[in-house]
Structure 1
Amino acid sequence: MTTQTPIEPERTYSAGTIPRSEGLLGLSWPGMVAAGIVVVAAMITHLVAGFPVSAIMFVAGALVAGPLVIRVNGRSGYERCILLTRWIRGRRRRETLYRGGAFSAVPGGACQLPGLLTSTRLYEGRDVAGWPFGMIHAPRLHEYTIILACWPQGAEAIDQPVVDRWVAAWGGFLADIGGQPDIAAIVPVLDTVPETGNRLLGEVETLTIPDAPPVARDVLRALGTGLPAQHVRLEARLAITLRATTPGRRRDPAEQTLEVARRLTGIVAALEEAGVRARPMTAAEVVAFVRRSFDPSSQPDLEAAVADPAGHGLEWADAGPIEHDERRDHYRHMGAVSVTWEMDAAPQGVVTERVLARLLEPNAELPRKRVAVVYRPHSAAEATKIADNDFRDALVATQNQRGGITSAASVIRVAATEQARIEQARGHGVSRYGLLVTVTSPADADLPRIEALTKDLAVQCRLRIRRSYRYQAAAFAASLGVGVLLPEHANVPKFLEG
């Protein structure tokens, strides 16, 4: 008699739920309140002044409250109107154009970082292990960002129980690190860039002994220049943004540098548990990848400078582009064009840990592609309140449905929010998350084809994305993982978001 080993079912996960407060007929609370005020005002006007005046009052109120009730692509009418108005005003004032260089009227350097990165500063410190690290300071928000170079283990030839343990360790990392009150965001960035061969050639030259036999030197050099054409490499990094909570750290970056240095070792060890080797990036490395992102033509020179003891010699004030032009649906900079998309809806239903694999892996048709997943964790106190309120709102939404029959979607939402509430009580964290996809191509690239390829990859990942219209430059900076968090720069009042 032979026995068969039972096959363990594949572990699946949930993409989470979006907390929302629903009133009558599925309206948001601001929309329901606005609609209620319009109806009550129209009724009172009808009793006092009669039908014609009340009808005019109702139509005028509907025009005011309608943009709160009607939402397009997740945004209320007021949001879209404010974005459009400010975009038109910015184009008329030529605020979307940037011209740097030695003879530019813009102070601060020939290649100063534009837009939301203009006021940032870069400092360097050393952690308790003696490793140097770069730290980006945003003075206006009192936020500091450290960036770690990462080498994910990958899932090739790895047993599923090990992968499950890594996923659990990553969830524990987000809960432990993100649960600290001064953590503003955790942003993993997967960046694919064309391989120039300069890094491999520099490594070969470093390993070659000067008095080695000519044949051995020729063989090593042939190996160093033998990369296949259209080779694309994957670079991973992790940005952690901390918010300075004490007056001393807000005024003095050196105080925050000591705090970061104390905590870096624990962060690296926690990532090791999740199957990710990591080390802090130096200030020179941070400048290099930011400059390469704004100016793709500088990549070969920056890679060749790695072997030079003097380094590339660039400062933070030289990391930006010399010129850029922000258009409605794309961003032109230094002979390149970039398009950024944002997550419109998370993958529906249950997913596996490989749900984003097709979007993250290198693609020869999209050699310069950057995917940033933005986690904005809540503190423990906020998480408890959010989980309880979301569960309560889900129950209220099922009771507000007409016809006496509860929809299946409402039942699923109640079950999901209840599970989230239980898991939060057991120590799991609660995080808001989003995703940004940036594709950079030559200036004469076929943008419709790039959009079709990118959206096809998103569909394969069961992900719905939309183009970042009228804020391409800000979305480009946010996807770099250098401390730019778009929600913190929003200038639309909360009550107008519906």
Structure 2
Amino acid sequence: MQDKFTADEAVQYSLGQPSVRTGLGGFSMKATAIIAVGFISFLVLQLMGLAKWGFTLVLPLTIVCAVVVSVKWAGRSLAETVQLMWQDQRRKRAGGHLYFSGIGSRVPLGQRKLPGLLARTEMLEGIDTSGHKFGVILDRPRRDATVVFDCQLTGQTAMTQAERNAQTAEWSHWLAGLSLAGNIKHAVIVIGSYPGTGELISHEVQSLISPTAPMVAQTIMREAAQAVSVGIPEVYAHISVTYHVERDMLTEDSFLHQLSTAIAPMYESLTWAGILAHPMSATDITARAHVLFNPASEQDFEQMVVDNENHGLNWDDAGPSSAITLPGVYHHDGCASVTWEMKDAPRSSFEDTLLHKLIQPHDRLDRKRVALVYRPYESGTGASRVEDEHRDAMVAANSSKKLTSASAEMRLEHTDAARRAQSKGAQLGRYSMFVTATTDDPSDLRRISTEVVHLASSSSIRLQVMKRQQDVGFQISCGLGQVPWDKATTSKIIGE
């Protein structure tokens, strides 16, 4: 029997439904716990002869608490939304939405450090077993070490559908390997574009021209490079992988030796998935970070690459000179950026070209990047979670004598498919997406927002603007090892 991943027909993929545990009546586990505590408290008051307090205090309080943690608004519970609004107002009163660096600022030593989540990170460098230098973004307080792979994508090259299916299967195997590693917290895949100057293309063509070639051939090559480079955006891509470091290995930086043996097989295996990857050095990562925060420096860095010069910029000076966070936009070094988060993933099946329109360069979007975040469950944790969710789905589907709802049947089908997939070697993980668009003309933001939302809709994805979190969203979509979930400022009690 022919394997579906080597067939010439396009494979249909599905993300299933969001991973969630449910309690009684389809409520969340936290809402179920609140209802249980309220019911027990009501019974105790009844036995004590204080039924009046049970009806006037306990029952209304239980209902209110269950509602604020269950009802969702913009993908978050009402309690989380209210807490975020309060925290944003408190930050504005303290001036925390303003950032200024350099001489005369409050930043120590007058440095231009990266703001927000990246402020306390530091840069280290090691050499892997293949002899390549690799930079490590270290968040020492959280013991997180991030390595970054620069990627050259080959998805637009001519290939058969069977080859595309095989590459997609290899990408799935690569993601599954993140769960088996045990110490990987998350991986972020970033694909972006910016207006090209033509310098890189000209440099590449010049390196290909042989000095002994006929002058006519050399002239044709140079003219072709000039014609192709006009108005053609540059595409960049990188993958960041964040490891959790043990405390005893952090003190002596001995984790660098461990990373040097772990990352080489990781980026070399990406070749089978159609991605030509190599580790980025500390110098390369610093340049990438600075260009993202200061787009005006793009041409300068391109010229230094062509001239084979070192930019001499330290990690502690890679940040912007100024930044202002507003509820719906992030201003940084003369540019304005808007970041969206994925509200709803595709619920139906899709082919491997689903994100093509969203990630490819766009004529009316000068600077755009898409960041896919994958957070793997450890192998054992994922297996138990799949079983628990399947058990919840079975209870929900069989809890009523009436006709089972279509949503309950779909959930049972998806959880059963997840169990079967895991038995064949698949692993469980959580997906998220962030999209950032940057412009040097703030008056153009409305049109840009319409374009981005339309592109996402064509990929069956619903986006929403990260209200009151634009600075955080911008830093996450940079793909430099920072994600919001383990740094959340909202209480875990009122979350999902």
My pick for the range that moved more, 472-481 or 212-221, is: 212-221
* Contact preservation (8 Å) 2:301, 2:311: yes
Distance 1:456 1:117, change over 3 A: same
SS at match of 1:384: helix
Task: Tell me the amino acid that sits aligned with residue 418 of structure 2.
Answer: A
Q: Quick one: structure 1 residues 52 and 417, their matched pair in 2 at CA, closer, same or farther if it must change by over 3 Å? A: closer
CA, structure 1 residues 311+441, in 2 after alignment: closer, same or farther (shift >3 Å)? same
Matched residue SS, 1:141: coil
Match of 1:139 in 2: 140
Match of 2:250 in 1: 250
1:273 to 2:272 alignment: yes
Structure 2 counterpart of 1:261: 260
TM-score (norm 1): 0.91
Q: List aligned pairs for 1:166-315, cutoff 5 A.
A: 166-203=167-204, 222-227=223-228, 229-244=230-245, 246-253=246-253, 255-315=254-314
Distance 1:57 1:387, change over 3 A: closer
Alpha-carbon separation, structure 1, partners of 2:158 and 2:219: 35
- For 2:451, give the aligned amino acid: L
* Aligned match of 1:477: 475
Q: Which SS does the other structure have where 1:164 is aligned?
A: helix
Inter-partner Cα distance in structure 2 for 1:106 and 1:31? 44
**Segment of structure 1 superposing worse, 222-231 or 169-178:** 222-231
- Going from structure 1 to structure 2, the CA distance change for 1:214 and 1:104 (only over 3 Å counts) comes to farther
In the alignment, is the contact (CA less than 8 A) between 2:153 and 2:276 conserved in 1? Answer: yes
Deviation at 1:29, TM superposition (A): 1.7
Task: Tell me the alpha carbon deviations over residues 280-321 of structure 1, each in whole angstroms, 9 at most, x when there is no partner.
Answer: 112111111111110010100011111334411111112110
For 1:310 and 1:413, locate their aligned partners in 2 and report how far apart those are by CA, in whole Å: 56
Letter in 1 for 2:492: K
State the AA in 2 paired with 1:97.
L
Shift of 1:481: 0.9
Deviations 1:82-140 (A, max 9, x none): 11111110010001100112221211543211111011111122111211111111111
Deviation at 1:479, TM superposition (A): 0.8
Moved more, 200-209 or 322-331: 200-209
Q: Distance in 1 between matches of 2:44 and 2:443?
A: 60
How far apart, in 2, do the equivalents of 1:23 and 1:212 lie? Answer: 74
* Aligned counterpart, 1:425: 423
Worse-matched range after superposition: 418-427 or 378-387: 418-427
The answer on whether the counterparts of 1:122 and 1:316 sit within 8 Å (CA) in structure 2 is yes
* Structure 1 portions without partners, runs of 5+: 1-6
Residue aligning to 2:412: 414
What's the counterpart of residue 4 of structure 1? none
Displacement of 1:216 after TM fit?
Answer: 8.4
SS in structure 1 opposite 2:175? helix
Name the CA shift for 1:229/1:310 in 2 (closer, same or farther; >3 Å).
closer
Structure 1 residue 413 displacement after superposition? 1.4
Q: Distance in 2 between matches of 1:359 and 1:320?
A: 28
> How much has 1:493 moved relative to structure 2?
3.0
| Match of residue 89 from structure 1 | 90
Identify the residue that residue 107 of structure 2 maps to in structure 1.
106
Q: Which amino acid aligns with 1:356?
A: L
Deviations 1:24-72 (A, max 9, x none): 3321121122234445545665773465872354334433443113222
Who is 2:28 aligned against? 28
The superposition leaves residues 442-474 of structure 1 with CA deviations (integer Å, 9 ceiling, x where unpaired) of: 143322221111111111000111111111111
In the alignment, residue 132 of structure 2 is paired with which amino acid?
W
Matched, 1:70 2:71: yes
CA contact (8 A) 1:331 1:339 kept: yes
Q: Contact 1:436–1:479 at 8 Å: present in 2 too?
A: yes
In structure 2, C-alpha distance between the alignment counterparts of 1:261 and 1:31, rounded to whole Å: 46
The alpha-carbon deviation at position 198 of structure 1 amounts to: 2.3
Q: Is the 8 A contact 2:198 2:229 kept in 1?
A: no
Do the aligned partners of 2:45 and 2:53 also contact (CA within 8 Å) in 1? no
Please tell me the residue identity of whatever aligns with 1:446.
D
Shift of 1:231: 1.8
In the other structure, the counterpart of 2:3 is none
CA RMSD of aligned residues (A): 2.5
Q: Is the 8 A contact 1:123 1:135 kept in 2?
A: yes
Question: What SS does the corresponding residue of 2:108 show, helix, strand or coil?
Answer: coil
Paired residue type of 1:199: L
Which residue does the alignment assign to 1:3? Answer: none
Alignment of 1:336-415 (within 5 A): 336-401=335-400, 404-415=402-413
Decide whether the 8 Å contact of 1:108 with 1:317 is kept in 2. no
Does the residue aligned with 1:397 lie in a helix, a strand or coil? Answer: helix
User: Matches of 1:11 and 1:212 in 2, distance apart?
Assistant: 46
SS in 1 for 2:299: helix
Q: Find the aligned partners of 2:309 and 2:335 in 1 and give their Cα distance.
A: 29
User: Structure 2 counterpart of 1:328, which letter?
Assistant: P
Matched AA of 2:197: T
What is the distance in 2 between the residues matched to 1:303 and 1:155? 24
Distance verdict in 2 for CA 1:190–1:23, change over 3 Å: same
Q: Which moved more, 1:410-419 or 1:291-300?
A: 410-419
Please name the residue that 1:149 is paired with.
150
Classify the secondary structure of the residue corresponding to 2:56: helix
CA contact (8 A) 2:199 2:306 kept: no
TM-score by length of structure 2 reads: 0.92
Distance, in Å, in 2 between the alignment partners of 1:359 and 1:93 is: 38
Question: SS in structure 1 opposite 2:480?
Answer: coil
CA contact (8 A) 1:43 1:54 kept: no
Question: Whole-Å Cα distance in 2 between the matches of residues 171 and 485 of structure 1?
Answer: 22
Residue 17 of structure 1: CA displacement? 2.6
The question of whether the paired residues in 1 share the 8 Å contact of 2:8 and 2:162 is answered with no
Match of 2:159?
A: 158
Counterpart Cα distance in 1 of 2:300 and 2:139: 29
CA gap of 1:125–1:443, structure 2 versus 1, over 3 A, is same
Deviating more after overlay: 148-157 vs 447-456: 148-157
- 1:322 and 2:300 correspond: no
Q: Which moved more, 1:80-89 or 1:59-68?
A: 59-68
Task: Tell me, yes or no, if the aligned pair for 1:68 and 1:76 is still in contact at 8 Å.
Answer: yes
Contact 2:124 2:138 (8 Å CA) reproduced: yes
Mapped to 1, the partners of 2:256 and 2:54 lie a distance apart of: 65
C-alpha change, 1:206 and 1:355, in structure 2 (3 Å) is closer
Contact 2:9 2:161 in 1 (8 A): no
User: In the alignment, is the contact (CA less than 8 A) between 1:24 and 1:400 conserved in 2?
Assistant: no
